[in-house]
Structures are given as structure tokens and as C-alpha cells.
Structure 1
Amino acid sequence: MTFQSLCPTDLITVLMTLGDDAPHVALLRHDQNTPTFEESHHSLQKRLCHWAETLTHCPIGHMEQLYTFSSFPMQGQTPHIHITYLALSSSHPQSCHGSLYHHFPWEDRRSESGNQNLARFITKIEQWASGHEERQSRIAPAFGLYELPWDDTRVLERYELLWESGLVPRSIPADDVTDGDSRRLLATALSRLRARIRYSPAVFELLPKAFTLLQLQQAMETVSGRLMHKPNFRRLVLHQKLVEETGTYDRSTVGRPARLYHFRPAAMASCYLEAAFLPLETPTS
């Protein structure tokens, strides 16, 4: 398969998985120099999914188009068009670009050190916005300032402000995928994933088929970068009947074995894991 257009076009898959303590990501680029797709898949998305699974040996549970953007490798050169997709897997590829919180440390608010890290960035961004009404009006909702709430889905807005202010670079080390615009792509992917776990079963695609309620809570905390109130979270999951017991137990840890659950496909249309009417965050967040 080749791409015929006014400028070079390629496909990029952002493969998201759960690491031990952070979302991990692998950027996979399919361009004119990559082997052609299998003709057995009539959908471009299905072809790309099959190619990514073959390349990484990771089964992909969910895939969707992310966004399309252009980049300019060097001044005066023809821009490149990048069509990007977000893919979720419960497995880990052998090679990846590492922890998302390594590239966006201000997004992880699960510890005191993480909140202190965010505070340092806020101090600097407030200095940049000082005396500029337009800048202040933009940083307030993005960083939850001046009594506005913190919105974990505003990852892209926060990154763009930090880049515009000169506090962070555009690219990540050894970026050979997006011609230097990788942080924007990763911020967009994390924003999309954080939004999807609010109203869809996307988080279950990052977990094994059988999991404990604690593992589910930890997955939500890892993606959102926030700690959640354990009783409230379990009450919400069980009240919505999102999961059901498998009849087996997790005996891999010391102490009382934990019940194993799996997602109920019948709950597909009523999955609201971050319902606004129920306080899920811990009282100290």
C-alpha cells in the first residue's frame, strides 16, 4: 500500500500500556519505506492494527484515530502529514519510549513529590503570565489556578503553555518518529485516554482479562495521575455492575487472596468510572 498525496504522508500508532507505576508508550511509524499492509483487511484501521500487533507481538484491544497533523522537518522543505492512531494493549512491547510521566512529570499527582514538581512548574508559568491578562486567562483553567478545579484531561493545554513559555522542549530524546513534534502527539494521546476512561471501558483494555479490584483502581490512578478513595471507587464499580467475579482468586501476594473479576460486556454502554456526582479522589488529593 502506498500513499499518494501532495506531500509525504505516514501513519503513526501510539501504543499505550501500563507500566509498573506509569502509562508507557511506544510510537510506531508506518511510512512509504515500511512493508505494505496485508490485503485481507479492508479497513485501514484494521490493517494498521494487524501491522502493529505483528510488529510488537502485543494484542491490541482497542484502536481509534487520534488526530492528523503536519510537521516541517527543515525550513524550506515539504511538510509531512502524520495520521495518528491510539492503541491500547495489556501487553508490553520490547522497545518503547518509556514512561509518559518521564516526559510529562507535572501530570503525576499521586505523591507529595509529584505535587511539589507541579508546584514548581506553576510558579514558573505564573511568572511567565504575570502582567498578561490573556496568558493568565489561559493558565488558570489549564492548571486549576485561582480556585478553578484541576482537570486531568487538559494534558495538551498544559503542555502547549509550558512549551510556549519555553519551559519544556517539543521533542523527546531520540525522536525519529514525528520529526520533532512528539510531545504534542503524546500529550494528545494521554488527554484522549484520560477522557475515555471517564465514560468508556477503555481502562479494561490495559488490564489482563482477570484482575482484582485493587488492580483496577491502580490502573485508573496510573492513567489519571490522581489517587482515588478506595471505598468510593469500589462502591461505584460494583453499583454499576461493571465487573463480575470469576470464581477464582489472586494468590500471588502475601496475605488473604483477593477475588478476581472480569469486565461485563453488558455494561459497555453504562461505564462511568469517574462519575462527577461521586467523589472518587482521596480527601487529601
Structure 2
Amino acid sequence: RVLSLAYLALVREVGDGPAEWPGARWRGWYDFLPWEDRRAARPTDRSILADRLAAWARRAADSAARRARVDRVGLLFGLDGRPWDEEAVLERYEALFEARLVSEAWRGAPVPVPEAVSELGGRPMAGDHRRILACALGRLRTTIKYRPVLFELMAPHFTLLQLQRTAEALSGARLHKQNFRRLVEQQGLVEETGEVFAETGGRPAKLMRFRSEIRRERPSVGLRMRARPED
């Protein structure tokens, strides 16, 4: 057996990786967990994935197991009008593994990975590393709700649109522009710098900065975001 240890940290992207690791390069986590990115995911891909999860649920041994699977899939993947829980990243990966909808579940099988799994299941990783990545992403999405992680990823000065785009990249969800700005301003998380950013392609945007004094005002300094209803 191989024991894998992982450490979650936020670092700056510099180059393609250490020289002693030839071929190492940065990749987006949605290359490996594409179902977690609901910003621009194709509705057809989501529908196909939902259909395959439903088919897996129907293959359960008995009616009680089928009901349990249907409820589990609905809760984890926001089906049948249920809300999407962005923190349940690991639970979703484990459900996909059980349903054999990710390549790792086919390792050691006497047949190759089905083409449909390869197309929708994201890029595989060695060992159980994709499971570790899912755990890390879920943890990060939880942390931004009570720590100012979002602002630690920003430049010292930023526009509210830049802040929103970063929040969307972390959460994997589209956010309502006005609601997001209202939330940030009402919580006193940012303050104006008195400068503007002109490279917007339109009206110059105000430059903001994180209001560090808020750390002394309340113990939990995070941002609880609400995804925009999907079209």
C-alpha cells in the first residue's frame, strides 16, 4: 500500500515548477473536478451526468437502497430543485467513484475505462490523489466563509468585479453582481482607496482594499456567498 500525505496551502504561481520535477506545471483544479465548476458548465454535460447517476441509483439491490441512492444523488448534485452545497466536494467525488463515473474506479478492471467516463469524469490522478484534491477544495470553500482567504488571494488594491470573479472561481458558482457587492459593503470588508482602475473597457472602476481593522471587530471574517439562480 502507498500512503499519500497532502498539505493544503495558498501560494503564488511562479514558473512551471521546480527544476528537479521536470514536466511539472500548474493546472486548474476544475480540470480534475469539472462537475464542481457550475459557472460555464454545459447543461448537456450536467444532464448526462445526472442521467448516469440516476441509472446507478436504479441499479441498487432493493427498493430501500434505491431510495437511499436517489436521495443521496439529489442532495449532493442539487437535483429536483434542491440547493447546491458547494462544500460537499469530497462527498460528490465519492458518489461518482461508487457509481464508477471516474476513471480511478476502473483501475484493475479487465476492461478499459469507458469513453463516456473519460469524457465527463475529468482528468484522473495517481493513487487516491483526486480524492485528496476534492477534500482540499471542499475545505477551502468552507474556510472562505469564516476567514478572509478570499482577500489573501487578491492584489493589495482590486475592483469589486475582480473580487467577485475570484469568489466565483473558488465557489464554482455564478454570483449575482449587485447582491455580492451589497454583501461585501454591508459587512464592512472593504474600503475605497480613492483611486480608480481605468482598464475596464468602459467606465473606470473604484479600487478597493481589504479593511484589516475588521479582524479586531469580529472573530469570524469571511464571506458567505449565495449563488445566483441558474438559468
Q: What interval of TM-score do these two structures reach, taking the shorter chain for normalisation?
A: 0.7 to 0.9
Tell me, what secondary structure is at the counterpart of 1:208?
Answer: coil
Q: Which protein, 1 or 2, shows the higher relative CO under an 8 Å CA cutoff with sep ≥ 6? A: 2
State how far apart, in whole Å, the 1-side matches of 2:13 and 2:52 are: 38
Tell me, what secondary structure is at the counterpart of 1:271?
Answer: coil
Give the equivalent residue in structure 1 for 2:49: 121
Deviation, 1:248, is: 2.2
Structure-2 change in CA distance of 1:89 and 1:144 (3 Å)? same
Structure-2 change in CA distance of 1:116 and 1:97 (3 Å)? farther
Unpaired runs of at least 5, structure 1 = 1-71, 73-78
Give the equivalent residue in structure 2 for 1:187: 134
Structure-2 change in CA distance of 1:273 and 1:93 (3 Å)? farther
**Does the 8 Å contact 1:89/1:205 carry over to 2?**
no
State how far apart, in whole Å, the 1-side matches of 2:145 and 2:15 are: 26
Tell me, what secondary structure is at the counterpart of 1:248?
Answer: strand
Give the equivalent residue in structure 1 for 2:224: 274
Please state which structure has a larger fraction of its residues in helix.
2
Give the equivalent residue in structure 1 for 2:210: 263
Q: Aligned-pair RMSD on alpha carbons?
A: 2.4
State how far apart, in whole Å, the 2-side matches of 1:127 and 1:173 are: 23
State how far apart, in whole Å, the 2-side matches of 1:234 and 1:225 are: 18
User: Which residue, 3, 7, 29 being the options, matches 1:100?
Assistant: 29
Deviation, 1:174, is: 8.6
Deviation, 1:166, is: 0.9
Quick one: percent identity of the two aligned structures? 42
Aligned residues: 199
Give the counterpart letter for 1:183 in structure 2: R
Unpaired runs of at least 5, structure 2 = 18-24, 61-65, 106-121
Aligned ranges 1:21-170 → 2 under 5 Å: 72=1, 79-80=2-3, 82-95=4-17, 96-111=25-40, 113=42, 115-130=43-58, 131=60, 132-170=66-104
Tell me, what secondary structure is at the counterpart of 1:265?
Answer: coil
Deviation, 1:270, is: 4.2
State how far apart, in whole Å, the 1-side matches of 2:180 and 2:148 are: 15
State how far apart, in whole Å, the 2-side matches of 1:141 and 1:154 are: 10
State how far apart, in whole Å, the 1-side matches of 2:146 and 2:206 are: 25
**Does the 8 Å contact 1:212/1:250 carry over to 2?**
yes
Matched, 1:217 2:164: yes
Give the counterpart letter for 1:168 in structure 2: V
Structure-2 change in CA distance of 1:170 and 1:265 (3 Å)? farther
TM-score under structure 2 normalisation? 0.76
**Does the 8 Å contact 1:90/1:208 carry over to 2?**
no
Tell me, what secondary structure is at the counterpart of 1:249?
Answer: strand
Give the equivalent residue in structure 2 for 1:233: 180
Tell me, what secondary structure is at the counterpart of 1:198?
Answer: coil
Give the equivalent residue in structure 2 for 1:206: 153
State how far apart, in whole Å, the 2-side matches of 1:138 and 1:255 are: 46
Please state which structure has a larger fraction of its residues in strand.
1
Structure-2 change in CA distance of 1:110 and 1:173 (3 Å)? closer
TM-score under structure 1 normalisation? 0.63
Deviation, 1:243, is: 0.8
Give the counterpart letter for 2:74 in structure 1: A
State how far apart, in whole Å, the 2-side matches of 1:284 and 1:214 are: 20
State how far apart, in whole Å, the 2-side matches of 1:154 and 1:83 are: 21
